[in-house]
Each structure stands twice: as C-alpha cells, then as structure tokens.
Chain A
Amino acid sequence: MSTEMAAVRHATACGARRGRVEFANSVRAGSDFAYYVIVSVIFLTVLFLARNETVEGTDVSVATFMLPGLIALQVVVAGAYGIATVLVTEREDGTLLRLKSVPYGMVGYVSGQLVRVVLEIFFSMALVLIPAAFFVPGLLADGPGALAGAAGYLVLGLLAVIPLGFVIGSVFRNPRSVGGWGLLVITAIVWVSGIFSPLASMATWMQIVGQFTPTYWLGLGLRSALLPDSAVLVEIDGSWRTLLTIVVLAGWAVAGFLLAPPLLRRMARRESGSGVAARREKALQRV
C-alpha cells in the first residue's frame, strides 16, 4: 500500500499549491483585500482609543488586554466560519465535484483549504499585530519566551477550529443560511468570549456560555503568554487555568478530528453533476 500512501502524499502536495494560489487570488481580489483592511482598521482603531485606559484594579492597558482576544476572534472567524462558508459555497458552485472527478481530489481540496486558511490567518494577524506593536504598551515585554508560548496556543487554536469549520460546512447545505446564521453566532461569540472586557466581570450565564467557546480559551491562553503576571487578577478564579485551557482546546480539536473525516466523506459521496445542476437552478431562481 506504499504506492497508495505516495498517491495521497502527492495529492496533498497538489492541494498545498492550490491553497497558495487561492490565498494569492484572494489577496489580489479587490473585495477580499478591502475586507482584510477594513477589519484590521476597525481592530486597530479600537485598540488605539483604549491604549491609555487600564483594566480596573490593574495597571494593564485595556488595549493590551484586548489584543489577544481579537487575535483569537480572527482565528475562530477565519477558521470555523470561513471554512464553513467556503465549503458550502464551493459545494453549490461545483468546485467540490470538479475535485472529486480527479484522483484523490478531495484530499487535495482539504489540504488546500488548510493551507489557504492558515495563510489567511497569518496575513490578517500581521495586518493587526505589526501596527499594534508601535502603540500597544508592553506587548513584547516578556521577550521571545512569551512569543513562543503564544505561537503554541495559536497552533492549538487552529487545530481546534479548522476541523470545526469542516464539520459545520459539511452538515449545512445552503450558503445563504450559513452566512446569515453564522454571522449571528459570531456576534454572540464576540459578546460572551470576554474579548473587550474580562469575562469574570460579566453575568454568570454569560460566563457559562462563554466558557464553551474556543474563542474564550484561545484568548485566555494568548493572554497568559503575552500579558504580565499581574493581569491574571481579572481572569475567572484569578488564574490562567493553563491546564484546563490546553484540555478544552485539545478537546475541541479531538472532537473535530473525529467528526470531520466521516462527514466530509459523506458529503463528497453525495456530490454529482445533477445535484450541482439542481442547486444551480435553485440558486438562479432566487432573485
């Protein structure tokens, strides 16, 4: 079966190239580029206005507190919501069927999405982090050790949300419903994930809901790596809860990695030319 493994590896490599092309096409496309820029400008404006305020009871700048949460939000939006909407849209428009008709095309498709979304996340993170480094106080105060810790949480966060995106995208069928409902869910997540002010200071029910989201835990992990130790006081239980952070994010990752492959296979099996044609008819009827 080693030739089979080689064939899968080959398709994965084709997919990696696919991901790079799709990312480059996205950056070149005016509408996508405008989206990246507008989101970064909003984030940077919020951070800039908050740079001189401190989180109550600490000497930590609100901007410094918020930045890790915003990064976590970017990861979750691009990873889960981004992959889910792309998957549903590309099922409707026939991209998936196109890949299904070439050998190990679905392997290439999935590896392409992985590469695309990782490049996209790094790109949009850089658009925020590089300008923020000039005015957010104490961001790099702890040196390279802090950055290594943050990178570790980032990898764990990606592993948690990307399979989740594939799961959501393979279960739903209509791109417009994923777009609409997804946006509502994201708004809710922003609300309960303790991005703009500490979750510990919010209502109990929000704390409970918030602690189910990977956004909160990724934000917490990134804060534990990047913020000074004095900032821990504003967190729930006055603790970074490092072990629990790793367990929860790893739990999301394991659940996603167990669910995504069978759901993706089921989704791919159902694709056919007449299926795509029927969806095309339906989409064109909606005016």
Chain B
Amino acid sequence: MSSHTLEQTTAVQVTDLRMRYGSNDVLHGVNFTIRRGEVLVLLGPNGAGKTTTIEILEGFRRPSDGQVTVLGVDPVTADEHWRARIGVVLQSWRDHGRWRVRELLDHLGSFYEPYSEPGRQRPYPTDELIETVGLTEHRKKKVSMLSGGQRRRLDVAIGIVGRPELLFLDEPTAGFDPAARRDFHDLVHRLSDLQDTTILLTTHDLDEAEKLADRILILNHGRIVADGSAEELAHQVVGSAEVRWTQGGVRQVHSTTDPTDFVRELFAQESAAGAIADLAVQQPSLESTYLTMVAQQEVSS
C-alpha cells in the first residue's frame, strides 16, 4: 500500500510510543491505529496515561520516544494548516466569561476562514452550529452565565467549529446529567455519520463507551491491554456467557463460552428433565470485561 492511500485510510498511527517524566514511565511502548471515520474510545483507570496519550496526539506534548502520525504528519513538527484540520474539545473553566456565546463561537471560527477545502467549508456557519449543539436560545448569553451542561456544549461547538477531520475529546461528558449525556451521544453519532469525522474520546463511563465506540482500547499502567469492539473484548476477556433458567421449580445457572449450543442441548433434554421456564442468556457486559481486565493487570503487575 502506498503512503498516499495509507493516509487516506488511516487517521492516526502510533508506534512504540513512550513517555517518561523524570524517572517515572507513563507510557511503555503504546501501539495503535485509528482508521478514518472511526469512533475510538480510550478507556482506563486514572493515571493509566489516557490524557498524556491524547495530548501527544493533539500536539500539545512532546513524547519521549516512538513514532506518531496524525493525519499524515508528526504533531511535534506539524504546522498551522494541520492544526486547522483537527479539533480539540477542552474542559472550560472560566475563560472568555465576558463574551457572548455567539460572539465567541463566531470569533474562534473566524480563524479557520483561510482553510476551507473541497467538500469541507470552514468554519461551520455559526448559527447552524449553535442550533446543532442546542444553544440557540442562549446565543446572546454571557459565557459566565451558562450552566455547566450548556458550557460543555459550547466547548464541543468550539471543538468542531473548524469542521475537523479528526476530533479529540478528553472526558467530554464529565458532570453531564443523563439528558445532556444522551444529547451529546446523538451529536457524536451525527458528527461521525454525516461529517465523516474521525473521533477519539476518553471516558470513565463504560456505558458511554459501549454506546459510542466502533472500537475500544483499554489502557492500563501505560500499556494497551485490550483492543477491539465491545463484543470482541467481552469474548476475549471474560469468555463466558451466563445462562439462567428454571426447571422443575429449581433455579439453575451455567457459564458457557457457547450459549447457543448450550441452550440447544438444554431444550433437546427438556422432555426428560422437565419443562424449562424463565430462560435468560446474559452476555458479559463491558463493565465486567473492564473490571476483569484491570483486575488481571493488578495481579500480574
């Protein structure tokens, strides 16, 4: 495959990425790729190296060692044209508190004006974007007057105002209420489907990871310990599903790697063993996968 087509199919390529602060190794040789158009979720406990990884990809941090290619360029040497093609959703605190919502979004968008490409008009039209993130009725409010959830929606709007090809979100829904969280998930789906945006996000919320991710990476102690879809991870790690049923008034539980085959056998013997009721097959959840994974690592390390 030529490097040109590689760049067309691969948004991020990370090879043997290492990060060391003093004598403390935070990343020990991390490898992964993100395909164009993919939604990749980076999971891991606190201190696993998620934020360090994402900041290296954003070009905000210089790695100690390893090769990193983001949209075909090494972020350390990338120029401002590259900067215009990526979006970063920051956790705001009290910056630009005196600005009005529309005024701020329009201003930050104006920096992208020289960077339009065929099929990608930059920036996003301000009012359309405000509508997209549901802030239309607050567009004239001062930023300091927004609620926490509204402010995070503004953060997302600022992150995507340049119509990025690749978007980074570091714990975007921390502090969201359930409704705001669902709206945010819809927005991510829309960005991914309609705008053809590649998305990398970190989260602590396993349910969120399962809903959004095309693929999940689990980072623990500076190493990638799992890579795959939620179902694949469940299969790799926990391996077994749980089958529950009642037979002859007695509740039964059985763990199996092939629940379909097990249930077929169960019904084949029903006439001999008595009628089956309350049958349930439970696939391992991402939560049990994740906890098993992190626990295994704790034991082995």
Contacts and interface: CB of A to CB of B under 8 A. Distances in A.
Contact of B51 (A25, A26, A104, A274): A274
Interface stretch (B2-10, B107-115, B267-275): B107-115
A18 B109 CA distance: 12
Contacts of A277: 91
A99 B93 CA distance: 14
Interface string B75-117: 0000011011000101111111011000100011011111100
B114 A7 contact: yes
B90 A98 contact: yes
B113 A10 contact: yes
15 contacts: A10-B113, A21-B99, A21-B103, A98-B92, A102-B162, A103-B83, A103-B84, A103-B112, A103-B115, A103-B162, A105-B108, A105-B111, A272-B60, A273-B58, A277-B91
Nearest to B110: A14
Most A CB within 10 A of own CB, among B58, B93, B112, B170:
B93
A285 interface: no
Nearest to B62: A269
Interface stretch (A42-50, A87-95, A157-165): A87-95
A6 B92 CA distance: 30
Interface string B154-180: 000010001000000010000000000
A97 interface: yes
Contact of A11 (B58, B111, B162, B170): B111
B111 A108 contact: yes
Contacts of B103: 21
Contacts of B61: 272
Contacts of A274: 51-52, 55
Best-buried of A25, A28, A103 by chain B (most CB within 10 Å)? A103
B110 A280 contact: no
Contact of A273 (B90, B108, B110): B90
Contacts of A276: 90-91, 93
Contacts of B83: 101-103
Given A272-B55, A273-B90, A98 B158 contact: yes
Contact of A271 (B60, B84, B158): B60
B80 A7 contact: yes
A151 to B, nearest CB: 31
Given A6-B114, A14-B110, A98-B95, A273 B55 contact: yes
B80 A103 contact: yes
Interface in B222-261: none
Given A18-B107, A21-B103, A29 B114 contact: no
A90 B103 CA distance: 18
Contacts of A14: 107, 110-111
A274 B81 CA distance: 24
Given A25-B98, A103-B81, A103-B115, A17 B93 contact: no
Nearest to A112: B107
B168 to A, nearest CB: 9
Interface in A228-287: 271-274, 276-277, 280
Interface in A175-190: none
Contacts of A94: 90-95
Contacts of B111: 10-11, 14, 102-105, 108
Given A28-B98, A94-B95, A277-B91, 19 more contacts: A7-B80, A11-B111, A14-B107, A14-B111, A17-B107, A21-B103, A90-B95, A93-B95, A95-B95, A98-B96, A98-B158, A100-B60, A101-B88, A102-B111, A103-B81, A103-B112, A273-B90, A273-B91, A276-B91
